[in-house]
Structure 1
């Protein structure tokens, strides 16, 4: 873990407990004593998470601050308190607090609890990063002399841009994503239009015909958008 935690507390007993926890876990924390100080710190650097001493701050201020900073904190928010009611716990969790921990706490229990939260946030961050990279670097798909850019909703043939209607592009994209598979008209309708289309066969056939007119060299003898008699279509 490279980033420290951000602790809001004036309670020296809690601070000493957390120092002992951090020493054993090889963590660090930065201490502030007011919600305003916490907000200012978040503006200047990233933190692994927030440790919030509820004994030092009113519930209304706590909820308001959590609502303000939650999107800035890519890590767990943990509230420490000597006692708490069920009603207040419900309010804290609705404000997207991750955990409420009573202090004095048992160090050997709290450490793995925080480690689990850190693992979860790191895993979610890695998944978002991977998804973002996949989207950003999505290749242009080439089928014969067609070039399909699904990210930018563009298609060209031999370098010349082809204009498709939104539904034509959605249908082509669906076929591309299932390339080589035989798809029934019902599957195509469900995948592109939804379930409320009447006259399924006609709507699919019309759009396939339009795609062939725009993309195939000979629409009457297609080489990519093929009919599978008695069943449906496939893209090859």
Structure 2
């Protein structure tokens, strides 16, 4: 296995613990002890996954994550935090993190999360060999991780796009928030339905002509959401 993980944390004991267990699981590792160093390494080098602490000197983890996504660097990110706070969790995932783990954690759980994220990343849902999904003027291109509306290229975070793609693949079907959490974020986040609502709100801002009267992503009261063809 040649997959490489960047470990970012300012606590040497945590870095040492993570490095030992991740390398024992067969991965290569590199480390950074502050946000600026992490941003530089993640921008200049290629990694298969980044473990990113939320609270870092020089540049916070959320800002590192945000800047990487702005640079179109889509390396999967597992965020770590000492806070067990829903807002932090939603914020981290909203800005482009792929998973979230609260300290204290077991090294086995970290390795399990890494493997799960890489499985999801390497096995993105196919679209039955179709090159795109069309819903009226909205075109979703799974292979390119891109979408256009009226030929205008749209900008999404990884999770926004995966949510849009999942809704598009299941056009006309009512999908509960728990279904969407399970499909897009994985079972670890079942119950944190606000994450879905936040991402749906962001999608609507980008694809709906009028966010107050959405025509693509409909809210089905008491059930969830449904993607419809407005044409």
Structure of greater Rg: 1
Structure ranking higher in helix proportion: 1
